[in-house]
Amino acid sequence: MLTIDRPERRNAVDGPTAALLGEGYRRFEADDEARVLVLTGAGEEAFCAGADLKAIETFGNRIDLPEGPLGFTRLIPTKPAIAAISGWCLAGGLELALWCDLRIATEGSQLGFPERRWGVPLIDGGTQRLPRVIGLGRALDLILTGRFVAAEEALMMGLLTEIVPPGKHLERALEMAEALAAFPQDTMLADRMAAIEGVGLTFRRGLDLEARSGRATLETASRGAGRFADGEGRGGAGTGA
């Protein structure tokens, strides 16, 4: 679990916090026992309000770092990540949430790109990830207007995975993380990466990528098929993520 702990600034990220986020990400990637990352913000008022514009001088040359200004936003994780959102999820905070595979938010949460109002660009992956998550038309609506969307609208457009009662976002995210961590990992990770990488390919090349990914996990698939034949997992058991 990686927590942005600046509640007095609505968990807005300054330069030192961005560096710590990067360190946390690298620890996650290096730890074979850590199968899922849960990203959240301290308290319930905000997940993250983006970069701390009142401390912009603390970022130094981070804008040019290959990993991204906010720690890891220009990198693609090799394992699943879940955003546990409560309250404000804005600007770079929304870009951090979009970096994750799944997004759980509490009722009353608000999401958007308000930096549009001040001429601040999206530089942490938002222009690339948002269209891939909700489609170009809806993405341009949020990118161009800078309007906020409530959790219910965000769920409807596919920006959120699930809405939970206030205070339950972290509990639900951890529950989902445990479920994902319990699955056979090589096939899940292969399917995940085929989906991510396949978005930018032609349909034919995407199918070829899927076939190569599947071929590499045939041993696990064979064992799983045998367990299913023996009665394991019937009726949806074990799929409660």
**pLDDT surpasses 60 at 40:** yes
* Two structure tokens written together for 110: 């608000």
Q: pLDDT digits over 119-153, tens only?
A: 989 999 999 999 999 999 999 999 999 999 999 99
Q: Residue 232: what pLDDT?
A: 53
Burial code (b: 16+ CB inside 10 Å, e: under 16) for 54-67 equals ebeebbeebeebeb
Q: Determine the topology of domain 2-181 in CATH.
A: 2-enoyl-CoA Hydratase; Chain A, domain 1 (3.90.226)
Q: pLDDT digits over 88-127, tens only?
A: 999 999 999 999 999 999 999 999 999 999 898 999 999 9
* Catalytic one of 115, 152, 171, 197: 115
Over its C-alpha atoms, the chain yields an Rg (Å, rounded) of 19
Segment 208-219 shows an average pLDDT of: 82
Q: Residue 226: what pLDDT?
A: 53
CB 72 within 8 A of CB 35: no
- Is 115 one of the annotated active-site residues of the chain? yes
The structural domains of the chain, with segments of one domain joined by +, span 2-181, 184-236
CB 113 within 8 A of CB 122: yes
- Range with the lowest mean pLDDT among 32-36, 58-62, 90-94? 58-62
Segment 201-228 shows an average pLDDT of: 75
Q: Residue 229: what pLDDT?
A: 46
* Cα–Cα distance for residue pair 200/74, rounded to 1 Å: 16
Beta bridge partners of 104: 84, 162
Q: Which secondary-structure segment (H or E) carries 223?
A: helix 218-229
* Catalytic one of 23, 95, 219, 232: 95
| Confidence category of residue 218, pLDDT binned at 50, 70, 90 | low
User: What is this structure's pTM?
Assistant: 0.90
DSSP structure string for 138-162: HHHHHHHH--EEEHHHHHHTTS-SE
Query: CATH assignment of 184-236?
Result: 1.10.287
**Mean pLDDT estimate for the chain:** 91
- Is 178 one of the annotated active-site residues of the chain? no
**pLDDT surpasses 90 at 224:** no
